[in-house]
Chain A
Amino acid sequence: MKKLIFILSCLAVFSLSSNAQKFITKTGHIKFYSDSPAEKIEANNRQVNAALDAATGDFVFKVLLKSFEFEKALMQEHFNENYIESDKFPIATFLGKVNNIKDVSVAKDGKYDVVVEGKLTIHGVTQQVTEKGSFEVKQGKIAVNAKFNILLSDYNVKIPGAVTNNISKSVEITVDLNLEKFASSVN
């Protein structure tokens, strides 16, 4: 019984691990780009929330879909109303881990290649994804960059026959974050 209490208290301590190694942003930038013969579609979201625990490698994103800004108002309306259905599915999330977080030292400036793995949820559909990116540590801040493609069909985003030439089946996602050390008044 004593052992049990000891282990449980260890777990409790572990789960309350300090925020010292946590990095966060609420002004991250995610761009998506669709290139098709008829039309190039680009949208930018500069209000992306993301947090990284540099000790454990836990890495999460929260993206408000209505915050994507398009060049044309009509594209934005179609994106929200017809494709991503942002009233039904207002946010996209990523819950995952940096696989090789041990290679990254937040104490030392430098550039690191990372592999991030986890669950990406868009349009109510969750897919397991593994993508490559880079972390650049500079004066205690981490610049995160990644570029990858996702298939709209993987997330049940349907493109009607009439506009198949206007929207690419695969869209390019560019992630650009500047994570800063999380300053909490509690811890």
Chain B
Amino acid sequence: MKIRIYLFVFLFLALFAVTANAQEAMMNLINKDAKPVTDYTSATFKTTRVVIGQSCEIAPTGNLILVFSHHFGALNSGYENLYGLKQSQVRLGLEYGVTKWLGLGVGLNTLQNTWDGFANFKILRQSKGAKKMPFTLTIFGSTAIYTTKWADPTRTNYFTSRISYATQVILARKFGERFSFQIAPTYVHVNLVPSYDDHNNIFALGAGGRFKISQRVSVNAEYYYLFPKQIRSTPAYSTFSAGVDIETGGHVFQIFLTNANGENMETIVTQTTGTWWNGNIFLGFNISRIFTVVKPKAYR
């Protein structure tokens, strides 16, 4: 009798397993039939800026990003300047995603009326699945031209003296859904430097990260270490910037504190004249708005 009951239970379970497994087996069939796909990591950083420096991201294909960056004056500028509220430094920028791997941008900075133009190339994209790649690699190249009047009009001035260049190799990785990190060795070439003691070729090492504290808010921080003894005639320091990214529907707001005065890579690296310790801190924000210019093929 006992055996019969066992047998019955066993058979029942076996039958149950077969019907439940029929659909699982069909799923296996699908999995075997499916072509392997590559899962590319998206949104390593929310915008093309970690805080003030470039992130590994480029504008999405066919999309135009309008970036409005604003820095107030230094906090240590005293009550006369309302601790920086009276002054402002602005950069208006446009970026466009030409292809998946090429982005182009231009910007106008109120600091020395500087125009900057750049291209960023996404060489490698972090991915898993069929194609595995542990990190994203973006190369950033920029040219900046300041257009204020010559400081000394009596000497012979060349147009090329207005130009400086920045190149960055940005290596980034998204570790899980919350945390992203990048390192960015940076090379800046300044055509004309103030004194014989100053180097024309300046090297810095950038590192930046993002930590998502909610679905739409993240804390970002960024450090650009300026290797010493390259700029001697003027004070020049490494920069540290920290802030919050807040994402709404079509905008990303970045609110931050930084000791960098400039807003383009050339000036961030070479013209940061004060430190956090002496109160040379600027309150700033970036507002990015994205527009779809060319729709994906299926929607044209």
A residues contacting B by CB (< 8 A) are 4, 7-8, 11, 14-15, 19, 22, 24, 26, 44, 47, 49-53, 56, 58-60, 62, 64, 66-67, 69-74, 77, 80-82, 85, 87-88, 90, 93, 95-97, 118, 160, 162-163, 166, 182
Contact = CB atoms under 8 A, between A and B. Distances in A.
A71 B60 contact: no
11 contacts: A8-B14, A14-B18, A24-B30, A51-B33, A60-B23, A72-B295, A73-B97, A90-B39, A93-B27, A95-B23, A160-B216
B79 interface: no
B35 A11 contact: no
Could you tell me the dominant secondary structure of chain B's interface residues? mixed
Report, as a range, how many residues of chain B touch the other chain. 35 or more
A86 to B, nearest CB: 8
Contacts of B60: 73-74, 77
A77 B42 contact: yes
Contact of A73 (B23, B29, B62, B249): B62
A85 B177 contact: yes
Contact of B34 (A26, A44, A73, A74): A26
Contacts of A72: 63, 292, 295
Contacts of A64: 37
B277 interface: no
Given A8-B14, A24-B30, A67 B37 contact: yes
B299 to A, nearest CB: 4
Contacts of A80: 42-43
Could you tell me the dominant secondary structure of chain A's interface residues? mixed
Interface in B54-75: 60-63
Contact of B298 (A26, A44, A47, A67): A44
Contacts of A73: 60-63, 97, 290, 292
Nearest to B27: A60
B123 interface: no
A58 B23 contact: yes
B156 interface: no
Contacts of B233: none
A97 B26 CA distance: 11
Contacts of A51: 26-27, 29-30, 33
B7 A4 contact: yes
Contacts of A26: 30, 33-35
A11 B18 contact: yes
B278 interface: no
A129 B30 CA distance: 21
B133 to A, nearest CB: 16
A93 B43 CA distance: 25
A50 B249 contact: no
A92 to B, nearest CB: 13
B43 A74 contact: no
Given A7-B11, A14-B18, A15-B18, 16 more contacts: A4-B11, A8-B14, A26-B30, A58-B22, A58-B23, A60-B23, A62-B27, A62-B31, A66-B39, A69-B298, A72-B63, A73-B61, A77-B42, A82-B215, A87-B177, A160-B216
Given A24-B29, A51-B26, A58-B23, A162 B215 contact: no
